[in-house]
Structure 1
Amino acid sequence: MSLTTATHTSPDNVKQLQEQKLQALLRHLNLHSPFYKELFNKHGIDIGAVKTLKDLTNLPTTTKEDLQQRNDDFLCVPKSQIIEYASTSGTLGSPVTIALTDNDLNRLTLNEYNSFLCADGSAEDTYQLMLTLDRQFMAGIAYYSGLRKLGAGIIRLGPGVPSLQLETILRLKPTAIVAVPSFILKLIQAAKDAGIDLNKTSVKKAVCIGENIRNTDFSLSILGRKITENWNIKLFSTYASTEMQTAFTECSAGQGGHLQPELVIVELLDENNQPVVAGKPGEVTITTLGVEGMPLLRYKTGDICQFEDEPCACGRTSLRLSPIIGRKKQMIKFKGTTLYPPALFDLLNEMDEVLDFVVEVYSNEIGMDEVLLHLVPADDSKACDNKIRAYLQARLRVSPHVNYILADEIKKIQFPEASRKAIKFIDRRA
C-alpha cells in the first residue's frame, strides 16, 4: 500500500496497517534501544501483549527531557550505519541530535514527497526554498529530497535577503515558494518598495513552515490574511518536528494537516495521558513507524493541538491536525490570564503600528510570570504609543510591559549567532 493510498483508505485498513508496524517497532526497540529496553524492564512491559492501537495507553510516555538527557541511549543502530545527523533548534532547552540511516533518509524523502503531493505539487512546479538548508536542519534536506522525488524544479536560495528572493523570482520564475509566513510579509513589503507587483509574478502557491497561518477553526489567521490580501497565492500550512521525522501537511481544502498513517501514529493526550476526543485540545504524542536510527514510542512533543477525524473534502480519510494552539511549556499565566505565544503573535501581527516584535516572559520577585514586549513601532510618536497600549489592554485585558527598539536591534535579538530561524519568543522564567 502506498502512502497516498493509505491516506484515502478505510480507517479499519489503516488501523491494521499501523498495528502491524507498531509490533515491528516494539520488537526493534526491545532488541536495539538501550533507553526503551530499560523502560520496558522498569515498568514490566510485555511487548507481546501490545497488539492494538488501544494497547498503546498501557505503555509509558517519553518526554523531551528524556531525549535531552539520554540522547545517545535512543540510538538503535551502530554509528557506522548513520548517514545524516540532524538536530532540533533547541527552542525548549538544549538541542537534541537525531541520527538517520540510509533507510531513514529514504523515509524522510517519501514523507515530503507525499506532503508536496498533498499541497497540490507536481513535477511541473518549480519551488524556491527560502529556508535554512544547512546547520543540521532536517527540514532543509527533507524538502530538497522530497522535491527531487517529485521531479519538481528546485531553487535553493536559503533564508532572508528579500531583494535577492525577488530578483530570483523574476529571473527563474518559480511557481511555488517554501517559506516562513512572517518572511513572506517582508517579501511583500520589499516588493512594494521596489515597485514590483507580486500578483504578476509566476508564484501561485506557498508552503508555509514554522508559524501558524490559520486559527483552530481553520480560518486564516491575521498573518494568513495579511499575506493573501496583498498576494493572491494559495497557502498550505504544515506541522512537523525533527523528532517525528514526519510532516502533517494541508491539502487544498485547508482543513488541517493530514496524518501520514504509514509513517507515524499520533495521539492527543490530556493532563492524565489519556486520549482526548475530536475537537478538544491535547498534547501531540507520536510513535514513529519505519524509523531505524532513533525511533520514538509515545513521544510527547509539547505541542497542543486539536484533531478532526471526519473524511476531508479532498477524499482523504486520515486524521487532520489543527494549527498549534501553543506549547505546553510556553503557557504564560499573566495577572490571572492564560496566554500562549501564538495568540500574542496573532495580536501583534494584527497591529499596523507594530512592524516587528519579540515576546519575552520572565519571573518577577514573587515568582509570577511577567510579559515584556520588544516592539519596533511604525513611528516614535506619542499617538502611536497610545494606540499600541490601548489595543493591548483591550485585547488582553491586562497590560504587558513594552520596550520600543530599532529594527537593527530587534534583528540581533531574533537572530543570535548560529540561529537558523527567527526567535520570536524568549522564556527567561526559572
Structure 2
Amino acid sequence: MNELPSISFQKTAQIKSYQEKKLADLLAYLNTHSAYYKKLFADHHIDIKNVRTIEDLQHIPPTEKEQLQLYNKDFLCVPKNKIIEYTATSGTVGSPVTIALTENDLQRLAYNEYSSFVCANGSSEDIYQLMLTLDRQFMAGMAYYSGIRKLGAGVVRVGPGVPSLQWETIERLQPSAIVAVPSFIVKLIQYAEANGIDVNRSSVKKAICIGENIRTENLELNILGKRITDKWALQLFSTYASTEMQTAFTECEAGNGGHLNPELLIVELLDDKGRPVAAGEPGEVTITTLGVEGMPLLRYKTGDICKAYTTACSCGRNTLRLSPVIGRKKQMIKYKGTTLFAPALFEIIHRIEAIKEYIVEVSSNEIGTDEVTLYVVAENNREETQNKIKAYLQARLRVTPHIKYTDAEAMQQMQFPDGVRKPVKFVDKRK
C-alpha cells in the first residue's frame, strides 16, 4: 500500500469519489475471480456496470456470516500458491471462518495499523508493549506488530496475561504505550496495588484498548474505562475491528468514535430489512473491503450494531466514525420481557466491584424463551456479598438472572476453553 493517511483529511466529496473508483475496481475483480460473487451477480441479474455509486450498492444483496462459513473457499480469489498467511475469526459467534491473505494483503494490513497508530497519537518515538496473542491464527496480533514496525516504533511482544511478567518488562524496557484488553489493564492495576507499584510513575502513558468497549453510546468513558483512568492516568484509545474486514477503526485524541480508513473500507449501517438507517440511528455494520486481494468482501454484514458520526472531527479528519459496539445481532437477549444486548449487561456487571470475573450464559427454557445464568467469581463468598450482587442486578435489570458462584481456576477454564485466544464472556446455548 502506497496510500497516505492524508486522504482522511480531504473533503467528504473527494473521499466518496475516491471510494467509488475503488469500488468499480473491486466489482470488476470479483466478477472475474470470485466464484461466490460471480454466482451472486448471475443469480440476481446484477450488471456491475450499473453499480457506480455507494448508494447503488443497495441493489446488491448483502452477504451474511453464515454464507462465509458455508462457502468459505468460494470467496478465495487467488490460487493457493499466492496465499502467504491463513488467519481465522475468533469464533465468538458461530464457528471460526478462515481468511486467507496474500503478500499484498499483509502489506495492506500493516498499512491499516500504521494509519491507526498514527491516528492514536503514535510515532517512531514510542515503544509499544503487546499484551495479546500473536499465534493461533490471530490476525490482530500480527496486524499490530506489522503496523508498529511500519511506524518505526519499538515493539515488545510479551503476550497475554501474567501481570507480574508485564510489570517486570515495563520496569526493564520502559515502553510508552501498551496494547491490551481493558479488563486486563484493570488486573495490571490490581497487581500493582498489591505489590507496591505506583502505576502513575511508570513509563506507560497511553493504551490502545482492544476487544472490549471503554465508552458508552454517548462516547463518554464507561465504567470499565473509568476504573482504569481513576487509578492510572492513561490516555485511552478505543478500537473496533474484525478479521473479515482486515481493517480497524481507531480513535484519535478527541475520543469521538473510531475513524474509518476510507481507502480500505466502505461502510454502510443497515436496519433489519437491509435498508440504510437514518443519520444517528444504530444499524448493523456492513462492510465492503477495498484493496483486498485474497478474500475481498462485498456488503458483508458483520453482526455488530453501531452508530455512525459524520461531522468533521476536531483532529481534522473528515472520515466517518463509528461508536462502540452497542450490541451483536446474535447476542440480543429477551429475558422476562426485557430486551438486552450483551455489552449493556456487561456494563452493569462492571459497576459491581464485588464481581472479579464473570461469564453470561443464555439458554432456552422448556417454553422456548431465554434464560440467563451469570457465572461469577466474587471477592469473597460471604452471604452479605452475594445479597449485594443480587440486589444490584435486580435494581438495574428489573429482573434477576440465575447466579452461580465459582472460583478463579474454574472461571479461567470457562473463559479460555481449548483453542480460544480471547476470554469468553458470553456463551449462547439457545436452540
TM range (shorter): over 0.9
CA distance in 2, matches of 1:90, 1:376: 24
* 1:281-430 pair list within 5 angstroms: 281-430=282-431
Residue by residue over 1:82-115, the C-alpha shift from the partner in whole angstroms, topping out at 9 and shown as x without a partner, is 0111100111111100000110000000000000
Match of 1:279 in 2: 280
Secondary structure class of the residue paired with 1:21: helix
* 1:153-172 pair list within 5 angstroms: 153-172=154-173
Secondary structure class of the residue paired with 2:241: strand
CA distance in 2, matches of 1:69, 1:33: 15
Structure 1 position 349, deviation (Å): 1.0
Task: Answer yes or no: is 1:91 the counterpart of 2:92.
Answer: yes
* 1:259-278 pair list within 5 angstroms: 259-278=260-279
RMSD over equivalenced CA pairs, Å: 0.7
Structure 1 position 3, deviation (Å): 3.8
Structure 1 position 410, deviation (Å): 0.6
Query: Deviating runs (4+, > 3 A) in structure 1?
Result: none
Structure 1 position 429, deviation (Å): 0.4
CA distance in 1, matches of 2:179, 2:36: 36
CA distance in 1, matches of 2:187, 2:351: 15
Secondary structure class of the residue paired with 1:164: helix
The farther-off stretch of 372-381 and 212-221 is 372-381
Structure 1 position 353, deviation (Å): 1.3
Secondary structure class of the residue paired with 2:125: coil
Residue by residue over 1:390-424, the C-alpha shift from the partner in whole angstroms, topping out at 9 and shown as x without a partner, is 10010000011000111111111001112111001
Structure 1 position 2, deviation (Å): 3.6
CA distance in 1, matches of 2:229, 2:206: 10
CA distance in 2, matches of 1:277, 1:193: 49
Structure 1 position 144, deviation (Å): 0.5
CA distance in 1, matches of 2:51, 2:420: 41
Match of 1:101 in 2: 102
Match of 1:51 in 2: 52
Residue by residue over 1:190-244, the C-alpha shift from the partner in whole angstroms, topping out at 9 and shown as x without a partner, is 1111110010000000000000000010000000000000100100000000000
Secondary structure class of the residue paired with 1:7: helix
CA contact (8 A) 1:74 1:294 kept: yes
Match of 1:193 in 2: 194
CA contact (8 A) 1:3 1:262 kept: no
Secondary structure class of the residue paired with 2:304: strand
Structure 1 position 277, deviation (Å): 2.4
Secondary structure class of the residue paired with 2:252: coil
Structure 1 position 19, deviation (Å): 0.5
CA distance in 2, matches of 1:347, 1:166: 29
Match of 1:147 in 2: 148
What number of residue pairs does the alignment pair up? 430
Q: TM-score, normalised by structure 1?
A: 0.99
The code of the aligned residue for 1:69 comes to: L
The code of the aligned residue for 2:27 comes to: L
Match of 1:25 in 2: 26
The code of the aligned residue for 2:418 comes to: E
CA contact (8 A) 1:3 1:261 kept: no
Task: Answer yes or no: is 1:125 the counterpart of 2:149.
Answer: no
Tell me, which stretches of 5 or more residues in structure 1 are unaligned?
A: none
The code of the aligned residue for 1:222 comes to: I
Match of 2:64 in 1: 63
The code of the aligned residue for 1:58 comes to: H
Secondary structure class of the residue paired with 2:9: coil
Match of 1:202 in 2: 203
The code of the aligned residue for 1:123 comes to: S
The code of the aligned residue for 1:380 comes to: N
CA distance in 1, matches of 2:419, 2:167: 25
CA distance in 2, matches of 1:2, 1:230: 39
The farther-off stretch of 379-388 and 247-256 is 379-388
Secondary structure class of the residue paired with 1:230: coil
Residue by residue over 1:337-380, the C-alpha shift from the partner in whole angstroms, topping out at 9 and shown as x without a partner, is 01111111111111011111110000001110000000111111
Structure 1 position 386, deviation (Å): 1.0
Residue by residue over 1:143-166, the C-alpha shift from the partner in whole angstroms, topping out at 9 and shown as x without a partner, is 001000000000000000010001
CA distance in 1, matches of 2:106, 2:194: 41
Task: Answer yes or no: is 1:35 the counterpart of 2:33.
Answer: no
Structure 1 position 382, deviation (Å): 1.3
Secondary structure class of the residue paired with 2:230: helix
Match of 1:256 in 2: 257
The code of the aligned residue for 1:188 comes to: I
Match of 1:223 in 2: 224
Secondary structure class of the residue paired with 1:86: strand
CA distance in 2, matches of 1:97, 1:57: 27
Structure 1 position 272, deviation (Å): 1.1
Identity of aligned pairs, percent? 64
